[in-house]
Amino acid sequence: MDDKDWKQEQQRLGEVVAKLQARITELEPMVEGLHGQASEIRRRFWDEVTINTATDEDFEETFYTIKQQQAVLVERERVQGQLVQQWKNLKRLLPAPYFGRVDFREDGLTEQIYVGVSSFVEEDGLSFLIYDWRTPIASLYYDGSPGPASYVTPAGRIDGTMELKRQYQIQQGQIRNMFDASETIGDELLQQVLGKGADSQMKSIVATIQKEQNAIIRDDKSRMLIVQGAAGSGKTSAALQRVAYLLYRHRNTLKADQIVLFSPNPIFNGYVATVLPELGEENMQQTTFQEYLDYWLSATLAPEDPFDQIEYVLTAQGIPGYEARLQAMGYKASESYLRALQHYAKWLEREGLLFHGVRFRDRELFTADQIKAQFYSCEPTVRLADRVERVRDWLLKELSKLEREERWAAWVEEEMNHLDGDEYAEVFGKLHRDREVFDIAEIYASARERIQGKRRGDEGDFDFAEREEEMLREMIVKSNYKPVRRQVRKLKFIDTAGIYAQLFGDVAAYRAMTQETELPALWEEICKQTKEKMGRGELFYEDATPYLYLKELIEGTRTNTEIRHVFVDEGQDYSAFQYEYIKRLFPHARMTVLGDFGQAIFTQATDLQKSDSPLASLYGEADTNLIRLVRSYRSTREIVDFTKLLLTGENDIVPFDRSGPKPSLTRITNGEKRDARLLEEIAALQAEGYDSIAVITKTAAESRKVVEALQPATSTVLQLITKDTVSFEKGVMVIPVYLAKGMEFDAVLVYEASSEAYGRENERKLLYTACTRAMHRLSLYATGEWSPFVQALPENVSDQASY
Ligand SMILES: Nc1ncnc2c1ncn2[C@@H]1O[C@H](COP(=O)(O)OP(=O)(O)OP(=O)(O)O)[C@@H](O)[C@H]1O
């Protein structure tokens, strides 16, 4: 880049910064002033409104005054909202107004397109000094390279020639660096960005979004977008930018709260919460699938969470029943089981549904058998859910009849005599209000009598005393029956737990009810475990979603029609069941699933890219788009070279070319010495300036032990991360691998990579997941034999030491 270019660019930057500053100064008093105005109107709101209801006209006038004031207020607030947003955007632009430029020639004219985190337009409203990165034209910066290029607008494709593509690093209004790029977005810039340290928050990648990531961000067509990407390939980063893009692109129709992100755990929620300044104060809704399960199930059966499930898988080998439980996890997450439950629901249409009787105090008002008879008296063609609704309505009607009869029961009389002061006052108050209504009836009747000159019949005469008693009785019965009605309305008369447990009775019955042919070998043991767990008022994690699914097959599907986009991060951790479930729950949503089968550490894992993956068929092939990401941005080349060999089979993981030391393997047979060495390494890493360091253990139990053993020997705080942790500080943390998913650290120390810890095939991905959390340094320790997955690596991918 020659001097002239630098000068010109710096000069332009200076002009833009000055214009930004001028606009900010111009807006400032308005932002302040408007705020004052709106609150002033609020304060005066009631002063200006006189509540006058003497005549109909007065009433109408008052009504319109209120309406008018309200409208003024709403409009002011809207304008203020816009101005404040504009002002915030400008403030955000000021230190680094843009990061890219594209010169695009179209119809003989060349336009310089400067790209930044939001748009900035000249006073004339036409000339864009900066284009928001989400505008159609800005996609040239991410997708195109010098030469023929095009971009797509809502009105169609625009073709032209890209004459230049340039990137900037701007800080405090000064150009620090500038590169002309050809194909991809400059490696130089990426190098610098990626060389930095990890944070306790995820970073925005807007300036260096890669072409293949841009395809994810801007995919506007697919009902289902699946992203299979290697560890560290920027899936989560791209997903978050996609949220920002969608909100911008559909700003008139899509609101942030119509987007839901399913995260792997609560700590991850905090990790990504503030990543997108583009979203301003708005942010999408974040949740975990577990939160959903807890919400719907915990009142009846406490569902286990996936972390306790995996903790069991990792720690309970050798305990009786372990193999059966493992088989159950696999089977209950499968499509076969999904189909089995669908068949079961069909079977239930004919027979076998179980009910709870409806009780009032110590009396059974309707027995389970009565309800069952009523249920199966419906024509068999009526869907289960519709029949349930009919039975519910029938029960409510019958309850009304019973309530009417009940009014004269002895207990009502009894309660009437024992109403305390407050209760009586309440009842009396209500009667009094009703009485006014009767009084008006009285007034009306006597007026008619006068006008017509004819005495009315007995219908106008009203025995208040009798009426009062009747109403009192009615109210007593009603309030006592309220819980019964509520139970009926909530369909508590259906014995869902019994219906689910019924599946685990005997093999022949199971086959008959579900048409299942292939059963897990240890089915009987599985049945026993499932029933025992349910008997304790609990539900295994692998049963929770199927249980809810069955419940909805019977009762009808719960849906949320507001949500337009669902994002599932760490998508390999969800079962076919859970996908089916999420699809039904959000019928009007598009789905984006991001994951890595290489990190599929849970038993219910789903391969995202296999052609027979349940994901591919969820919305049908035509509506599904699969994008693969293979470049890994997180780790150095040395770390990627090491980690990718831990996996079997083909895995095309291409490291981004950033170099660092090889991973180190330290074998110390004495555990105490290992601990001491590990602390020394932490201190050395800190001295080198790394301030996000994770000691990764296999289980939560091991994490606890590590902190107990190491903390007394060091003044550095070791943060223990558990499944309940919601946020963490930069520093040193001790964390089980399954909670470290999705996160990254400057340095990762794997506490025990021996064959005992990671020896079985299903522990391979666990070790892979742990190692791929490292950005700059990776270090593995073992007190016993190295894990076979480490032993299988060639010598030249690591530095080894033995003590
Ligand atoms: N285009 C990019 N420019 C700069 N940094 C990037 C880019 N893409 C990804 N990164 C960085 O790479 C790291 C990994 O990204 P991210 O966590 O999104 O990957 P992931 O695919 O979700 O990883 P994992 O599957 O391991 O959870 C982050 O530090 C992120 O900032």
Interface pTM, i.e. ipTM: 0.98
The answer to whether 234 is a known ligand-binding residue is yes
135 Cβ closer than 6 Å to some ligand 1 atom: no
Q: Give the CA angle between residues 45, 49, 51 to the nearest 5°.
A: 135
Could you tell me the pLDDT band of residue 198, with boundaries at 50, 70 and 90? low
211 Cβ closer than 6 Å to some ligand 1 atom: no
Cα pseudo-dihedral 513, 514, 518, 523, rounded to 10: -60
> Does the pLDDT at position 460 exceed 50?
no
Q: How far is the CA of 638 from the centre of ligand 1 (A)?
A: 17
635 Cβ closer than 6 Å to some ligand 1 atom: no
**At a CB cut-off of 8 Å and minimum separation 6, what does 313 contact?**
326, 329, 603, 762
Average pLDDT value for residue range 556-574: 91
Q: Where are the domains of the chain?
A: 3-93, 656-802
pLDDT for the residue numbered 461: 46
> Tokens 């930044």 sit at which residue?
116
Pairing of strands 745-750, 692-697: parallel
Ligand 1 atom with least separation from CA of 213: 1
Spatial separation of the C-alpha atoms in residues 565 and 577, rounded to whole Å: 19
pTM score: 0.83
The answer to whether 632 is a known ligand-binding residue is no
pLDDT for the residue numbered 431: 58
Probe target for ligand 1 pocket from 213, 633, 768, with the most ligand atoms within 8 Å of CB: 633
Average pLDDT value for residue range 36-50: 57
772 Cβ closer than 6 Å to some ligand 1 atom: yes
Spatial separation of the C-alpha atoms in residues 619 and 625, rounded to whole Å: 10
190 Cβ closer than 6 Å to some ligand 1 atom: yes
Hey, CA dihedral for 348, 324, 613, 566, is it positive or negative?
Answer: positive
CATH number of 656-802: 3.40.50.300
**At a CB cut-off of 8 Å and minimum separation 6, what does 81 contact?**
none
210 Cβ closer than 6 Å to some ligand 1 atom: yes
pLDDT for the residue numbered 802: 84
Higher per-residue pLDDT: 491 or 181: 491
For the chain, the C-alpha Rg in angstroms (whole number) is 34
The answer to whether 345 is a known ligand-binding residue is no
The answer to whether 235 is a known ligand-binding residue is yes
Contact 497, 324 (CB under 8 A): no
Phi first, then psi, for residue 630 (nearest 5°) are -120, -15
Spatial separation of the C-alpha atoms in residues 693 and 450, rounded to whole Å: 93
Q: 634-689 pLDDT, tens per residue? A: 999 999 999 999 988 766 788 887 889 999 999 998 989 999 999 999 999 999 99
Could you tell me the pLDDT band of residue 531, with boundaries at 50, 70 and 90? very high
Q: How far is the CA of 633 from the centre of ligand 1 (A)?
A: 6
Spatial separation of the C-alpha atoms in residues 644 and 768, rounded to whole Å: 8
Spatial separation of the C-alpha atoms in residues 247 and 278, rounded to whole Å: 10
The SS3 assignment for 364 reads strand
Average pLDDT value for residue range 558-583: 91
143 Cβ closer than 6 Å to some ligand 1 atom: no
Among 334, 400, 754, which residue's Cα sits nearest to residue 545? 334
pLDDT for the residue numbered 171: 86
**At a CB cut-off of 8 Å and minimum separation 6, what does 192 contact?**
169, 177
Average pLDDT value for residue range 112-124: 90
The answer to whether 36 is a known ligand-binding residue is no
pLDDT for the residue numbered 1: 67
The answer to whether 88 is a known ligand-binding residue is no
> What one-letter code names the amino acid at 490?
K
216 Cβ closer than 6 Å to some ligand 1 atom: no
3-state percent breakdown (helix, strand, coil) of the chain, nearest 5: 50, 15, 30
The SS3 assignment for 335 reads helix
